[in-house]
A and B are shown apart, each in its own frame.
Chain A
Amino acid sequence: MKLIINGESRELPDDLSVEGLIAHLGVRKETVVAEVNRKIVQVGQRESWKLSDGDQVELIQFVGGG
């Protein structure tokens, strides 16, 4: 399936949960927040939240700021 991740189109395996996507991309899961189609995925929902073709995913983390 095709997902838009952080604004970029990417080809990914089907049947992926948000948890699975984070693992697939090699992103540290402890420090990331996910949003799918502008809805926040709470940490407890990651495993059960299945992604579908065309979903827009944002993966956000803390960076330095004032």
Chain B
Amino acid sequence: MMSATMEQVGSRDAYQINGKTFTSRLLVGTGKYATNELMAQCLEASGTQIVTLALRRVNLEAKGEKTLMDFIDPKKYTLLPNTAGCYSAEEAIRVAHLSRATGISDFVKLEVLFDEKTLLPDPIATLEATKTLVKEGFTVMTYTSDDPVMAQKLEQAGAHAVMPAGSPIGSGQGVLNPNNIRIILEKVKCPVLIDAGVGSASDVAKAMELGVVAVLLNTAIAHAKDPLKMAHAMRHATEAGRLSYLAGRIPKKLYAQASTPEKDF
């Protein structure tokens, strides 16, 4: 039988977040690029359909200068504003309200941090903010540590996606505890995404092979020596990892198994 092309698999292999359908399994952040032009090229190359962004004060001295939104078409991408930099549920909820007031998106990447050095989430405040924002009708995708209990609590609180960090934000260490991700995938029914920590294409492929719905990354592309090449690499890695997961890997064995028939010479 001929195997399906990626395009054929891709169209069948869609997933949904709160009823909205996506086929690209790579979510890309818009921070840390050398220029907005490069950022836009990288988004395009990555094939992403969901992009994260942040809210900050307008620079009143930069009259008339182009802003991020001059480089991102909200008709093309689903915008996922984050609450990065918030250290309490109240702050995160305020930022979510502000982002919804733009009228551009009711998605929110909920992130309530505990300390600046680790950028680890505050689980109690995260849970509280998830409950509130879900009640208020947001589509809530929650950043969390890779704790399987917390992932279940967030799902119970109504999170539309649970997004454990593979390793600390921006650290490029990959998925440090794949076993926790496996347990989360067993226990949680809502979409699970790896958010943060991947550094290279192989990190992304390995994350996808665990069976997560998608991977969200930013620094790995933005700070690569050649971001545009890395955006392409990440797209391929996401697709390769997904296909590899669906195809089902062979079990690991201790001893060799010949690939060539050993008889009938």
Interface mask (B214-243 → A, CB under 8 Å = 1, otherwise 0): 001111000000000000000000000000
Distance in Å: Cβ of A23 to nearest Cβ of chain B: 12
**Residue B123 interfacial (CB < 8 Å):** no
Within 8 A of A (CB), among B54-105: 54-58, 60, 63-64, 67-69, 79, 81-82, 84, 94, 97-99, 101-104
Q: What number of residue pairs across chains A and B have CB atoms under 8 A from each other?
A: 102
Among B67, B79, B82, B219, point to the contact of A28 (Cβ < 8 A).
B67
Within 8 A of B (CB), among A27-58: 27-28, 30-33, 35, 38, 40-43, 58
> Closest B-chain residue to A26, C-beta based?
B63
Q: Is the CB of A63 within 8 A of B56?
A: yes
Contact A25:B60 (CB < 8 A) given known A31-B67, A62-B67, A64-B29:
yes
Q: Is the CB of A31 within 8 A of B98?
A: no
Among A27, A40, A62, point to the contact of B81 (Cβ < 8 A).
A62
**Residue A9 interfacial (CB < 8 Å):** no
Distance in Å: Cβ of A5 to nearest Cβ of chain B: 7
**Residue B39 interfacial (CB < 8 Å):** yes
Q: Is the CB of A65 within 8 A of B58?
A: no
Q: Is the CB of A65 within 8 A of B101?
A: no
Q: Could you say which residues of chain A place their CB within 8 Å of the CB of B216?
A: 66
**Residue A1 interfacial (CB < 8 Å):** no
Contact A61:B60 (CB < 8 A) given known A33-B101, A33-B102:
no
Q: Is the CB of A65 within 8 A of B30?
A: yes
Residues of A within 8 A of B (CB-CB), count: 27
Q: Is the CB of B97 within 8 A of A64?
A: no
Interface mask (B39-53 → A, CB under 8 Å = 1, otherwise 0): 100000000000011
Q: Could you say which residues of chain B place their CB within 8 Å of the CB of A30?
A: 69
Residues of B within 8 A of A (CB-CB), count: 39
10 A-B pairs besides A62-B104, A66-B31 with CB distance below 8 A are: A25-B60, A33-B55, A43-B101, A61-B69, A62-B55, A62-B68, A65-B30, A65-B52, A65-B53, A66-B196
Distance in Å: Cβ of B132 to nearest Cβ of chain A: 15
Which A residues form the contact surface with B (CB < 8 A)? 5-8, 25-28, 30-33, 35, 38, 40-43, 58-66
Among B36, B55, B82, B169, point to the contact of A60 (Cβ < 8 A).
B55
Distance in Å: Cβ of B45 to nearest Cβ of chain A: 17
Distance in Å: Cβ of B198 to nearest Cβ of chain A: 11
Tell me, in angstroms, the Cα distance from A66 to B67 when the chains sit together. Answer: 16
Q: Could you say which residues of chain A place their CB within 8 Å of the CB of B64?
A: 26, 28
Tell me, in angstroms, the Cα distance from A30 to B72 when the chains sit together. Answer: 13
Among B33, B54, B63, B219, point to the contact of A62 (Cβ < 8 A).
B54
**Residue B135 interfacial (CB < 8 Å):** no
Tell me, in angstroms, the Cα distance from A44 to B184 when the chains sit together. Answer: 43
**Residue B182 interfacial (CB < 8 Å):** no
Q: Which of B97, B98, B218 has the most chain A CB within a 10 Å cutoff? A: B98
Q: Is the CB of A64 within 8 A of B60?
A: no
